[in-house]
Structure 1
Amino acid sequence: MLPTLGVEVRSPCPGPFINSRLCCPDFRGLYELHLTTDGPATTGAEVTITASLVADDNGSLVLPASTRLYRFRWIHTPLLLTGKTDEAFSSTIRVVGNVPGDFPVSVWVTAADCGMCQPVARSLLVLPITEFLVGNLVVTQNTSLPWPSSYLTKTVLKVSFLLHDPSNFFKTASFLYSWDFGDGTQMVTKDATVYYNYSIVGSFTVKVKVVAEWEQVTPDVGKGFLQKTGDFSASLKLQETLRGIQVLGPTLIQTFQKMIVTLNFLGSPPLNVCWRLKPECLPLGEGECHPVSVGSTAYNLTHIFRDPGDYCFSIQAENIISKTHQYHKIQVWPSSIQPAVFAFPCATLITMMLAFIMYMTLRNAAHQKDMVEVADFDFSPMSDKNPEPPTGVRCCCQMCCGPFLLETPSEYLEVVRENHGLLPPLYKSVKTYTV
């Protein structure tokens, strides 16, 4: 019978409903379903998957007190179900995969008494199953470094293989480990942990091949041995701490002379190198100089000093592990060879002095030539043929040849007195009296 117009029809189920006839509450978008698993796993091993119903991200909802309102429905084929446990707002299943592959596992939650109602929440995950061993290779060192996969040389490394077997599938198996450290060293052990010391810097890959073997008894085959293997590796970057900086360079230099200082770093690159010139040997402060990236263990510094004095190179270097600093004192003296800015005035002055000296030398040489040039003069006694020579020639003749030509001392003294004004005597003058 149809309801009469104008008469309000009320639903027998209070609150929001998906289906008013079945009284299915509408909880869509109010809850979330979280899935966790202890996979991946090897074939034959048991895997546990847990689904938990939680309130939405806003956290304002409260789960109902009754645990009988919901039902967890799983789809896990082709994985074999080995067990299931339902708890308050959660459900756990245990499955086994006999073949390798990636298998989807889904679950949704519905009202317990309404199989046709929309799910309250649903979720899905992909479970990887492999035919090999599952595990991880872990490398540790006593010295902790802030950089991943970075370790110190000449310090013992602990390398361990951790088998992932939450279901104890390999509890009766025996293991054999073949190690390769990437530097030519190999070894075989029965222990899952080894200790190794790298002596050189560089990047290496440590590898291990794991073999697991155990005995299994089946009704069809009987007693037999099963074996599973796995290959695992880890990348390592071996670094060396900076033990110091060796500085090779002069300690005494002149101004305006190019100086080269070689820095040898006792550590492994890459490096950040920073240096600054100071009057005293003091550590570098924050931001005092700009670092330069250096990709080798040697670096050359070049500098030209313009002022004499005492200086100190403050040098700082660091790599990804450590840092160090060093000082280098140097004494700068004034240069004996002045720079080009002073060379032209000095050269001009020297040229002028040389020109003046040459002028004076040529002038004196010309004057002396006038005094001694007597190539055509006859030095025989005075006669009508040789009249009296000019004064300059006569003076020169009397000075140079007079002592050999004059016969009496009185005549020699007379010549000396005549030439006294021309050339000064080489001896102290003495008064002469004629008696």
Structure 2
Amino acid sequence: MAPALRPRLGRILWLACLLPLAPARVAAGLYELQLTTDGPATTGAEVTITASLVADDNGSLALPASTHLYRFHWIHTPLLLTGKEDEAFSSTIRVVGSVPGDFPISVWVTAADCGMCQPVARSLLILPITEFLVGNLVVTQNTSLPWPSSYLTKTVLKVSFLLHDPSNFFKNASFLYSWDFGDGTQMVTRDGTIYYNYSIIGSFIVKVKVVAGWEQVTSDAGKGILQKTGDFSASLKLQETLRGIQVLGPTQIQTFQKMVVTLNFLGSPPLNVCWRLKPECLPLEEGECHPVSVDSTAYNLTHIFRDPGDYCFSIQAENVISKTHQYHKIQVWPSSIQPAVFAFPCATIISMMLAFIMYMTLRSAAHQKDMVENPEPPTGVRCCCQMCCGPFLLETRSEYLEVVRENHGLLPPLYKSVKTYTV
């Protein structure tokens, strides 16, 4: 009987060992770990990392009431641990890096009384450590523009270097700032905030080199000067407000003539240009015309009028800073020359008629010339007709004599003149 009880006793003991693990197994997959840090940091500075256990479905699942149900496990080597604080559902550590690099920090949560059990949740982050200063270069202006990194010319800019030092590592350091504004201006200050005014439009890169120095006690009870540096920059796009539009073009034109109007914009591109032809000079309504993108300060507008009358060009332009509009009146007169689309067919028909008339005229003249130069038929026919048929074809003697005279020229008289003498 004893051998039969042994398997039962083993199963009972196994179930007893699993009871403490029940809450953790129930909670597995229901929670997640959220990691936050105040890094990146420079070598030697302290970095704080916090892990918080939260419900996986955005907080709708209530956390257990017991505050000692879970335990946080960290892996942070080779970073040096300088402090740790555990709360009910969060844990915070502070570490220091002595060499630069990207270091993985991992953490997981298990049941408080079973460190080798399946984790309830786990998470990982990469902590960057650098040997240079950490910070940002911030540019601000009183006027806010909708375009990123865009600012107004001839308006003061505030440029500030903001050091990232949550552990107050540089509390005893002194700083030196070397500024380069990208337009040929350079200066050195001891203040991390400077005011500058750009007088021209364009894209610029403002740079600053920061040097931090402080005294530190060395291992041989002496004092040494330590330094850390950092290079920072920010891109700027300086623009001008759109002060107006200069319109260069005719004020009178004839129909079916191509009109070119040049628009000169008194402001900085890029621009959205919109225009419409109206009978009166009225502002453009929303969606009344489609804008055209213009990347320069000049734009040529072309149009052909088909009907005479008085017209007005309503022109609108805007950049990321401001908007303006302009009008241009023009009178259109009827054209004295027919449009080419109608003139070409007419000219073709007239040319064909003239060519036909000239052909008929030349043909008639050639026929008449042949009749004058060759009034008689060929020689054989002529001889035959004159000698054989001529006398029969001529109706009267006078006609016959006329033909003979034409053919033989001057003939001797048919009778001799009688001389009379008077005695």
TM-score higher than 0.5: yes
Quote the residue 1:250 is aligned against.
Answer: 250
CA shift at 1:96, angstroms?
0.7
Alignment of 1:212-231 (within 5 A): 212-220=212-220, 222-231=222-231
Quote the residue 1:184 is aligned against.
Answer: 184
1:47 corresponds to 2:47: yes
Percent identity, aligned pairs only, is: 85
Aligned mates of 2:274, 2:243 — CA distance in 1: 16
Aligned mates of 2:134, 2:13 — CA distance in 1: 57
Quote the residue 1:276 is aligned against.
Answer: 276
Quote the residue 1:111 is aligned against.
Answer: 111
Quote the residue 1:204 is aligned against.
Answer: 204
Please identify runs of 4+ aligned residues in structure 1 that moved more than 6 A. 4-7, 9-14
Q: Is the 8 A contact 1:273 1:293 kept in 2?
A: yes
Aligned mates of 1:2, 1:205 — CA distance in 2: 86
TM-score, normalising length from structure 1? 0.73
Quote the residue 2:138 is aligned against.
Answer: 138
Q: Is the 8 A contact 1:24 1:117 kept in 2?
A: no
Q: Is the 8 A contact 2:21 2:111 kept in 1?
A: no
Q: Report which of the two has the higher share of helix.
A: 2
User: Residues 152 and 2 (structure 1 numbering): CA distance in 2 closer, same or farther, change over 3 Å?
Assistant: farther
Specify the code of the residue in structure 1 equivalent to 2:48.
Answer: T
Aligned mates of 2:29, 2:302 — CA distance in 1: 70
CA shift at 1:279, angstroms?
0.3
TM-score, normalising length from structure 2? 0.75
1:294 corresponds to 2:324: no
Aligned mates of 1:94, 1:216 — CA distance in 2: 22
Aligned mates of 1:58, 1:175 — CA distance in 2: 45
Aligned mates of 1:163, 1:170 — CA distance in 2: 9
Aligned mates of 2:256, 2:243 — CA distance in 1: 34
CA shift at 1:72, angstroms?
1.1
1:80 corresponds to 2:98: no
Quote the residue 2:157 is aligned against.
Answer: 157
Q: Is the 8 A contact 1:24 1:114 kept in 2?
A: no
**SS state at 1:204 partner:** strand
Aligned Cα root-mean-square deviation (Å): 2.6
Alignment counterpart, residue 18 of structure 2, candidates 12, 17, 20: 20
- Cα shift readout 1:10-61 (whole Å, capped 9, x = no counterpart): 79979xxxx6265443021011111111011001111111111111125332
Q: Is the 8 A contact 2:20 2:113 kept in 1?
A: no
Q: Is the 8 A contact 2:248 2:262 kept in 1?
A: yes
1:320 corresponds to 2:320: yes
Q: Is the 8 A contact 1:13 1:23 kept in 2?
A: no
Q: Is the 8 A contact 1:135 1:162 kept in 2?
A: yes
Quote the residue 1:122 is aligned against.
Answer: 122
Specify the code of the residue in structure 2 equivalent to 1:194.
Answer: I
Q: Is the 8 A contact 2:36 2:51 kept in 1?
A: yes
Q: Is the 8 A contact 2:71 2:115 kept in 1?
A: no
Alignment of 1:284-363 (within 5 A): 284-340=284-340, 341=342
Specify the code of the residue in structure 2 equivalent to 1:105.
Answer: I
**SS state at 1:20 partner:** helix
- Cα shift readout 1:69-98 (whole Å, capped 9, x = no counterpart): 111111111111111111121111111111
CA shift at 1:339, angstroms?
3.6
Q: Is the 8 A contact 2:180 2:208 kept in 1?
A: yes
- Cα shift readout 1:171-216 (whole Å, capped 9, x = no counterpart): 1111010111111111111111111122222221111100001111
Specify the code of the residue in structure 2 equivalent to 1:214.
Answer: W
